[in-house]
Amino acid sequence: LALERCDLVLLADLVEHVPHPKQFLEGLRPAKQIVMLVPLESGWIADAIHYYRRLVGKPTTHETCGHLHRWNRGTALRLIRSAGLHVLALDVRKWKWTQYTTWRGRLYGGLSNALYRAWPWLHQRLFGGYALLALCWANRGS
C-alpha cells in the first residue's frame, strides 16, 4: 500500500489478531494519521480465567474471538509508543459484546453489569471489557 498518500488509517478490533503487532504498527508509520480501537480485555477475573485455561491446557482464544494478545490501558499505550507512534488523543470506553448463554455466563454478566453501574473503575480492574480509542500520528523525530 502507498500509505504515505493516506490521510487516515482506521484499525478497529484488528491489532490483537496480528502475530507481531509492533512490527505491524511500525509498517503503518508512513500514513499521516492512524485511529485504532484496541480491546482492553485484561482484568483480574478475566486474567485469572485466561491463565487457568492455559494451565489446564484448554484453548484460550475462544473466549476472546481468536485474539492473540491481551492488553490493559498501559500495555496498549506502550505497544503504540514502542512502534514509533505518537498518541494525540485517547479515550477508554466500556466495550463488551459477549452473549452469555449458560447460567454461569449470565451470572457473570449480571455481576459485571451491576458492578459497572456502581463503580466503573473497579469494574474495569476486575472484568476488563473496555476499548482504547487512540488517534495517533507517526513520530518522525519532530
Maximum distance among all Cα pairs of the chain, rounded to whole angstroms: 54
Q: Is the pLDDT of residue 63 over 70?
A: no
Over range 92-98, report the average pLDDT.
67
Could you list the beta-strand ranges (E) of 95-140. 130-138
pLDDT reported for residue 142 = 43
- Sign of the four-CA dihedral 116, 118, 123, 125: positive
Q: What pTM was estimated for this model as a whole? A: 0.71
Q: How many CB atoms lie within 10 A of CB 126?
A: 19
Q: Is the pLDDT of residue 64 over 60?
A: no
Torsions phi, psi for 122 (to 5 deg):
-70, -35
- Give the H or E element holding residue 81: helix 73-82
Torsions phi, psi for 90 (to 5 deg):
-150, 160
pLDDT reported for residue 139 = 55
Q: Is the pLDDT of residue 53 over 70?
A: yes
Q: Which residue has the cell 499521516?
A: 32
User: How far out from the chain centre does Cα 92 lie?
Assistant: 10
Q: Cα angle at 112 between 134 and 89, to 5 degrees?
A: 10
Q: 100: which residues sit within 8 A by CB, 6+ positions away?
A: 106, 108, 109
Q: Is the pLDDT of residue 3 over 50?
A: yes
